[in-house]
Structure 1
Amino acid sequence: MAGQNVITSMLDDLSKEQPIATALCIGQNIDHHASIQWQYFNVTDFLSLPFTQRYDLGFVLFDTEEMQDINETQKAQLLVKLRDLMAKRIVVVSKLDDEKLLRSLGFTQLIDKTTHDSNFALWQFNILTYKHVPDWFNSKFWANPENWNKFRW
């Protein structure tokens, strides 16, 4: 019951940052947030699912009984497909053992593991905040046609 309240408040906070209309869930069927259209998939169905639409949110719960039987390769395939094709933003609830995999795929940790005694961590991937745009990535440092024949290298 408390877990549902935490998920609901987290979804409300995420909706304030970016609107969430569609979401998919893997690992446990959660559809108690009324303003979001949820779709639930198990791991095998999701890995064989063709790309038909991009969801606003992907929610993965690795810390469930259903997800205990999948191996590291399937976890990586699931997260990469979700990150690259299926979702704009991803939230993952996992055990502390999955830290290396999630960091290597570009996820950032939302809850610091030192602030609690439980064996779980909360991670997110948001394509809009994934990478800071460097200073050199603008037209000032590229070949500008208006400067041709003015300067010589």
Structure 2
Amino acid sequence: MMHREKILIEFIIETLTNENCKNVQIVTKQNVSTLAQKLEKTPLQQLNIYPDFENINESSDLFIVFDDIELTETQIGTIKNLLSQKILIFSLPKDGINESKMIKLGFQIEVEDSKNNLLCFSYNLKTYNNKRSWNNAEGWANPENFNKYRW
């Protein structure tokens, strides 16, 4: 197993464990038998592997797209809005996926390893836009006057 593949598998298993995912969808044309064998040792209940993005209509706990699949912004939006709340998109660092485009879509760079030619963007709806503690009645200017006066 190559070092790149080992990092990728460890990262995916760590994400599955941390997020308590029960079903996963993977889109890739690559041979992922090593990953599938490793996933058998996790509490994962369902694993679906697709060669392309067409005809995917089931939602899942985690959606993974490998670097051999090219996605449009529309397809990324479909994944975010309809198919999963947790997404991992792997890309080659010199690939066509534009970092600024992914950040605009709400993704974060999760893994960036140019030595092993690995780049991973992640999206998690649970942690995407946390409630801010300052955005409440206590955080406004002159909080001592809140609910005392009508403007």
What TM-score, normalized by structure 2, do the two folds share?
Answer: 0.70
- Cα deviation digits, residues 6-58 of structure 1 (max 9, x gap): 33311332133220110001124633311322112212223xx3xx4x31111
Query: Distance in 2 between the 1:107 and 1:56 partners?
Result: 17
- Which stretches in structure 2 are left out of the alignment for 5+ residues? 141-145
The alignment status of 1:55 with 2:53, answered yes or no, reads no
The alignment status of 1:124 with 2:122, answered yes or no, reads yes
For residues 93-132 of structure 1, the aligned pairs below 5 Å read 93-96=90-93, 97=95, 98=97, 99-112=99-112, 116-117=114-115, 119-132=117-130
Kindly report structure 1 stretches of 4+ aligned residues shifted beyond 4 Å: 139-142
Q: Which moved more, 1:83-92 or 1:133-142?
A: 133-142
- State the match for 1:44 in structure 2: 54
Could you say if the C-alpha distance between residues 56 and 151 of structure 1 is closer, same or farther in structure 2, counting changes exceeding 3 Å? Answer: same
Query: Distance in 2 between the 1:94 and 1:78 partners?
Result: 15
Amino acid in structure 1 at the alignment position of 2:112: D
SS of the residue aligned with 1:111?
strand
Find 2:149's aligned residue among 123, 126, 151: 151
Which protein has the bigger helix share? 1
Q: CA deviation at 1:136?
A: 4.4
Query: Distance in 1 between the 2:92 and 2:74 partners?
Result: 18
Amino acid in structure 2 at the alignment position of 1:8: I
Q: Which moved more, 1:128-137 or 1:20-29?
A: 128-137
Q: CA deviation at 1:4?
A: 4.3
What TM-score, normalized by structure 1, do the two folds share?
Answer: 0.69
